[in-house]
Structure 1
Amino acid sequence: MDFSSYYHLIFISLAILLITTLSFGFIFTQNNSSSSSKSKVKSSSRFGERRTLPPGPPGWPIVGNLFQVANSGKYFFEYVRDLKPKYGPIFTLKMGSRTLIIVSSAELAHEALIEKGQVFATRPAETPTRGIFSCDKFTVNAATYGPVWRSLRKNMVQNGLSSSRLKEFKGVRNVAMDTFIERIKAEAEKDPNGVVYVLKNARFAVFTILLSMCFGVHMSEETIDKIDHTLKEVLITVNPRIDDFLPILSLFFSKQRKEALEVRRKQIETLRPFIEQRRAILRAGVGSDPTAMQFSYLDTLFEVKVEGRNSGPNEPEIVTLCSEFINGGTDTTATAVEWAVARLIENPEIQERMYNEIRSTVGTRPVEEADLDKMPYLHAFVKELLRKHPPTYFSLTHAVTEPATLGGYHIPTGCNVELFLPGISEDPKLWKNPENFDPERFLTGGEDADITGVREVKMIPFGAGRRVCPGLSMATIHVNLLIARLVQEFEWRAFPENSKVDFTEKLEFTVIMKNPLRAKIIPRV
């Protein structure tokens, strides 16, 4: 979430209007005033005892902490990071009509996601705009904990992202990787300094792979760019708005709702031809089209049985599920690759060691997926990369299926449980010198971490427990393979020469580099 710039002036004027109109009869909010003065809320239990919310900063009537966040001039993750030393590993932010419980310790994450995983396995209510694009929570990530979620997740994991299915797309990945390298070479040749942009090239490569996996057809670069533009519009449109937290203001955003409906129409119209094309291919037999792939994720959506429903997904729902599959794995992977190259430039000794491992493993032929398991240093590098630079700083929002406790505090239904991942992966109680980027910690340093959180919670870049990211295996394959090919083909240097890499962060769907990385490449001989 980024509240620092979006409709900033409207935020202030509406805040004044709202508070002036509605404040009479309300007492200034004193709950959550410090870590020692704890919020009290009425229990819904038949005994009527009072239960305690986690502490947090004081807020205003009606709006709570919403405008404090908006006016802080910081990204939401920066605001949370600043509050953690004062309020501890669990605290509350009241954001208009929504209550956010911020969790930032391994112990509490383990309690919520593993020990009490079933209770913390659902999602809070969608915002009206997100509901338009999720078909009222008909997606793997957004669905409430229940039969729809079980059906969709089982289909995606077993029929779309299983190890056997991933192997079927080995050829697609190899072609995409070769194209990726050629695009970088061509861009460097056009630049007098041999400089390239990392993120946009990595993003195109991953997006191409996921489109092929989703629709089972080959596409031109022009078509790929068109779909990419449309799906980016969707991501921009579902960004948080002030009326998501203060529904009373929804009348002021009727224009934005119309725009959202138009983007949704465009999304459906853009993807519909490929859905119809795949239906036709399957009816005629895959062999009837020599350019078609034997399998696609879309094939499974035509046949998926959803518990509690007499029919499969309709066309808008299929569009939603395809968009989720593509968007879910694109920016997260591409962002990781950009941070990886930045770390390689900053640490040339790491880059050299990785290149030597690759060269000793495969010689001069291109790295393939089967080679990755023979490269322990590459795996250590990627694990450290995900520790320092998780794709997002908050896992997807959790909610409880029934009133629960966490760390001794009351967690009511309907609130947002937000896991702040750096609070775990940067915890000095869990890691030696956590501020350092050091892949060696996973080899001879005696440190380790199960990134799924099954054995223990020390870093969970893909979440953990029942709602762990279903694309974890695919994402790690793509990240490892992209980095290996980049190091195998090129030596990466800072641009301008001898300059320092700027590691300032920026929130844009994922946490990316504020200044897009431009790097000088020298092709390997």
Structure 2
Amino acid sequence: MWKYKDRFDLNHAAVGGGGCLTSTHLFPCSSCHLLILSISLRFAPQNGRQFHSVSLNSTSSLLGATSINSASLMAALLVALLAVLIIPLLTFLLFAAKRPYSHLQRSHGRRLPPSPPGGLPLLGHLHLLGSLPHRGLRSMAASCGPVMLLRLGQVPTVVASSAAASEEAMKTRDLAFASRPSLRMADRLYYGTRDMVFAPYGERWRQLRRVCVSHLLTQRRVLCFRAVREQEVAALLDRVRGAGGAVVNLSHLLITFANAVVSRATFGDAGYGLGGGDGVGGAKLRKVFAEFEELLGTVPMAEMVPWLWLVDVVTGLERKARRTSEEIDRLLERVITDHRRRRRGARRVGDGEDDGRDFVDVLLDLSETEDEVVGEVQLDTVTIKATILDMLAAGTDTSYTLLEWAMAELINHPTQMRKLQDEIRTAIGVADRITEDDLPKLPYLKAVIKETLRLHPPVPLLLPRETLEDTELQGYHVPARTRVVINVWAIGRDAAIWEHAEEFMPERFAADGEAEYHKMGVDFRFLPFGAGRRGCPGVGFAVPANELALASLLYHLDWEVPVPGGGRPGTTASLVDMSEVNGLSVRLKRALLLVAKPWSG
């Protein structure tokens, strides 16, 4: 009845039917027929009992060809075999590549954001990102506009690169953009995202955020760690002075400082060796935690292109993630066990916020209080571990990179360096040390830190969000379950809203009074820590330590780049190389090596 009946017989639809018929429909079928016929001729039955080889040349007349020699037929067999193996695989891969975008295709004619040219099958626009995605995305936005749609492997991603778009996503329509996508590495390292930072939006996330904001990161609790910050700044200065005028690796010293402040606030005075010294495991624990942060800044291939999961196995990424998560878990288990043992042997610590309790103590207290079991949240041991990791990861890498970039910019801009040192030394006078009471007298210091954050936000592409529902962004339709990335690095360097956008000019912030930080998260031109429901709640914890460290380094010491061959300071050879490297945060590609000389005062 039908010329090509198998196109419409749904019981015989190996390569599709109706509107889904593939363009290769006839090719694999004819190839399969050729293969079957050739094999049957090669081993033709005789007398119905045995199979004997038949010369391939004898098939020429049977196939209706004028002449088919052995080599040609073998080539045909090879093509047929490849068709049988490869065509179904390609069909599957093309189907798999389209499947994640099915919700985009059901937009019913609504306008989606534009996409840059050059996308590849299966990989999409992944190859266009480069080694520094924040720069690659800004280049694409220059031609596509401030809102664009990328296909990163099998992950549809909307990228916003303007202040107006970020305000709409994080303020006007904040709820619609408030969730987190499933991130493979975060899921592995954070116990299935049992933490607050990577948890999807919902009742559990709301209660975890309340725990962090109302109990861990309150202003009073931040103040109770003042002695920790001042002690660690003094230790940082001692390490620099201990070099005796030789070259110091300031990057390494700043990492040690940031780790010490955060680990002591989290674990107590011991710090478990994360901030230097032997501690419990000492150098090994610091190495493991460095691997943890490195992994957290890594995007596995399987996350973007799931069928390439074997790449992560072959490269050792899966094995490394598993080993690191196990070692981190052993550390956290030891910390919690030690705290519980100590608490059993002493009177329960009071509930005041100035009692010197560390974060682990606070979380254990909450876990023992019945009214803190709210909604979907119970502060069990796993949730406490995941919350501790939030505190450690958010407070270390981002803090030290801020100080590193600030020192690098000041070295390369000696006029601003002298201006800041003059402000500090004039305001403080002659003193053994700077305290946090002195910080309100240093408005230009705040301006320098804000300008550093504008040019070098610790996380240039804010942690990705995911839409909870169909919504809009700058007039474009954004379907539910779409990943959304805010390029705050590009916004901070947008020449349309910043004068001399690429230049280091702290004066732009000094002009607005005391250059306080209250505008962060409110002024959508300047979003180093995000905004809205997903804004970072730990800004108040990080700022005092950064201000005190930078002010102390510049008050007590004069700095310069070691110039090879005794060259003259201030020349091109004496400038810091500002090349970047990507990771959990974007930092200097090369360690910051400087020479420090005591200020004679």
* CA drift at 1:309: 3.9
Q: Which moved more, 1:502-511 or 1:330-339?
A: 502-511
Structure 2 residue 301 is matched with structure 1 residue 245: no
Q: Name the structure 2 match of 1:155.
A: 211
Q: Name the structure 1 match of 2:150.
A: 93
Q: Name the structure 2 match of 1:294.
A: 356
CA gap of 1:174–1:25, structure 2 versus 1, over 3 A, is: closer
* CA drift at 1:349: 2.2
Q: Which runs of 4+ in 1 moved over 4 A?
A: 17-20, 23-27, 445-454
- AA at the equivalent of 2:449: V
For 2:311 and 2:418, the matched residues in 1 are separated by 56
Q: Which moved more, 1:134-143 or 1:234-243?
A: 234-243
Structure 2 residue 121 is matched with structure 1 residue 61: yes
CA gap of 1:464–1:337, structure 2 versus 1, over 3 A, is: same
For 2:519 and 2:87, the matched residues in 1 are separated by 45
For 1:252 and 1:19, the matched residues in 2 are separated by 22
For 2:341 and 2:247, the matched residues in 1 are separated by 44
Within-5 A mapping of 1:117-516: 117-127=174-184, 129-186=185-242, 188-189=243-244, 194-219=246-271, 221-223=277-279, 224-238=282-296, 239-254=298-313, 256-285=317-346, 294-302=356-364, 303-304=366-367, 305-309=372-376, 311-314=378-381, 316-365=382-431, 366-444=433-511, 452-496=519-563, 497=569, 498=571, 499-516=574-591
User: What TM-score does the superposition give when structure 2 sets the normalisation length?
Assistant: 0.75
Conserved? CA contact 1:344–1:492, under 8 Å: no
CA gap of 1:18–1:227, structure 2 versus 1, over 3 A, is: farther
Fraction of identical pairs, as percent: 28
SS of the residue aligned with 2:586? Answer: strand
Q: Name the structure 1 match of 2:90.
A: 22
For 1:171 and 1:396, the matched residues in 2 are separated by 32
For 1:18 and 1:458, the matched residues in 2 are separated by 51
Within-5 A mapping of 1:26-45: 41-43=104-106
Conserved? CA contact 1:40–1:53, under 8 Å: no
C-alpha distance after superposition, 1:476-509 (max 9, x if no partner) = 2121111101101111112214422211111132
For 2:494 and 2:146, the matched residues in 1 are separated by 11
Conserved? CA contact 1:450–1:456, under 8 Å: no
* Count of aligned positions: 483
* CA drift at 1:208: 0.6
SS of the residue aligned with 1:91? Answer: strand
C-alpha distance after superposition, 1:180-230 (max 9, x if no partner) = 1101111x22xxx62111111111111111111111232451235433222
CA gap of 1:86–1:137, structure 2 versus 1, over 3 A, is: same
CA gap of 1:453–1:491, structure 2 versus 1, over 3 A, is: closer
- AA at the equivalent of 2:90: L
C-alpha distance after superposition, 1:237-283 (max 9, x if no partner) = 34112111111222454464344222211111122222111112222
SS of the residue aligned with 2:560? Answer: strand
For 1:18 and 1:56, the matched residues in 2 are separated by 30
SS of the residue aligned with 2:175? Answer: coil
- AA at the equivalent of 2:187: G
RMSD over aligned CA atoms reads 2.7
CA gap of 1:419–1:352, structure 2 versus 1, over 3 A, is: same
For 2:467 and 2:377, the matched residues in 1 are separated by 28
For 1:56 and 1:427, the matched residues in 2 are separated by 20
For 1:134 and 1:247, the matched residues in 2 are separated by 20
In structure 1, runs of 5+ residues without a counterpart are: 1-16, 31-38
SS of the residue aligned with 2:497? Answer: coil
CA gap of 1:467–1:63, structure 2 versus 1, over 3 A, is: same
For 2:88 and 2:403, the matched residues in 1 are separated by 49
For 1:495 and 1:287, the matched residues in 2 are separated by 53
For 1:248 and 1:275, the matched residues in 2 are separated by 39
Conserved? CA contact 2:225–2:356, under 8 Å: no
Conserved? CA contact 1:421–1:461, under 8 Å: yes
SS of the residue aligned with 2:231? Answer: helix
* CA drift at 1:51: 2.2
- AA at the equivalent of 2:105: K
- AA at the equivalent of 1:211: S
For 2:558 and 2:448, the matched residues in 1 are separated by 17
Structure 2 residue 595 is matched with structure 1 residue 520: yes
Conserved? CA contact 2:579–2:589, under 8 Å: yes
For 1:400 and 1:385, the matched residues in 2 are separated by 31
CA gap of 1:347–1:323, structure 2 versus 1, over 3 A, is: same
C-alpha distance after superposition, 1:391-439 (max 9, x if no partner) = 1211111111111110111112222111111221111221111121111
CA gap of 1:217–1:278, structure 2 versus 1, over 3 A, is: farther
SS of the residue aligned with 1:492? Answer: strand
CA gap of 1:426–1:449, structure 2 versus 1, over 3 A, is: farther
SS of the residue aligned with 2:158? Answer: strand
CA gap of 1:67–1:422, structure 2 versus 1, over 3 A, is: closer
Q: Which moved more, 1:235-244 or 1:118-127?
A: 235-244
Conserved? CA contact 2:170–2:531, under 8 Å: yes
- AA at the equivalent of 1:235: E
For 1:359 and 1:24, the matched residues in 2 are separated by 68
- AA at the equivalent of 2:254: A
SS of the residue aligned with 2:278? Answer: helix
* CA drift at 1:295: 0.4
For 2:514 and 2:594, the matched residues in 1 are separated by 31
* CA drift at 1:120: 1.0
Conserved? CA contact 1:77–1:393, under 8 Å: yes
For 1:335 and 1:135, the matched residues in 2 are separated by 27
Q: Which moved more, 1:440-449 or 1:209-218?
A: 440-449
In structure 2, runs of 5+ residues without a counterpart are: 1-84, 350-354, 564-568
CA gap of 1:324–1:40, structure 2 versus 1, over 3 A, is: closer
* CA drift at 1:465: 0.9
